[in-house]
Structure 1
């Protein structure tokens, strides 16, 4: 088993962070790690996800959504071939802060016999998590700032 994670504090409420995270049609405009995600964000649905890790090769996979809790959690399970070969449970967890902001945790737990063979790729993936979190933070804070200015 191998776990990767990246945490970010966002100066925007969970509702705004959730809106950015779940507006997958806009990923190409701001998301450097997952420039493309299509499919319905509903438990049991299959997605089409394209990732582009920094310094790595892009790849597309078809995970199944395992959790959708509005303004709290989004998760999916991806597999390479048969279960137990290379499985990844990916999640985004949003936690409200007392100051009105959001703690964002992006995490993936990898399991399977191939995990030890892809250590370099996993380092690039972790860098992708950080890049995506920062881009999401920036976009959510911009949206929250515009809402404050007009509200």
Structure 2
């Protein structure tokens, strides 16, 4: 079974400014209501540690493999719950520059595996809401970053 959640938000900051906030992993716990922490070296092929979950839920810890880490463009990882094929998630962030210099931030995840069907309702509600809450918080942080510089 497969499922995808895809969200987006317009941010009044350049892709580089949004990227700077998104990849300042030490500060995620201060502003991000969904991804509580990221640690490790985000480089293609490396494993990182990600603690995430919607507010009100117990956070989950994953050690996904970084699939893409392209400056001011894309950050993508693949994680597994238990072992590959049970519940796999390819989480992605894409930054698209708009003609006015602002950014369209695309945040999503492609899910595959045996448990996806059982998790579909939670994915459509709490997880999607968590993505949207993070998007709004990122927008606020990036726009404040622009104002401060």
If the TM-score is normalised by the length of the shorter chain, which range does it land in? over 0.9
The offset of 1:54, in angstroms, is 3.2
The offset of 1:81, in angstroms, is 2.5
Per-residue CA deviations over 1:11-30 (Å, capped at 9, x if unaligned) read 00001000001000110110
The offset of 1:6, in angstroms, is 1.2
Alignment TM-score, normalising by the size of structure 2? 0.95
The runs of at least 4 consecutive aligned structure 1 residues that moved more than 2 Å come to 54-57
Superposed, 1:1-150 pairs within 5 Å as 1-122=2-123, 123-147=125-149
The offset of 1:47, in angstroms, is 1.1
Measure, in 1, the Cα distance between the counterparts of 2:8 and 2:55: 18
Q: CA RMSD in A?
A: 1.0
Q: Where does the alignment leave 5 or more consecutive residues of structure 2 unmatched? A: none
Greater shift, 53-62 or 107-116, is seen at 53-62
Measure, in 2, the Cα distance between the counterparts of 1:71 and 1:124: 28
Measure, in 1, the Cα distance between the counterparts of 2:59 and 2:66: 21
How many residue pairs match? The answer is 147
Measure, in 2, the Cα distance between the counterparts of 1:14 and 1:42: 19
Measure, in 2, the Cα distance between the counterparts of 1:80 and 1:143: 35
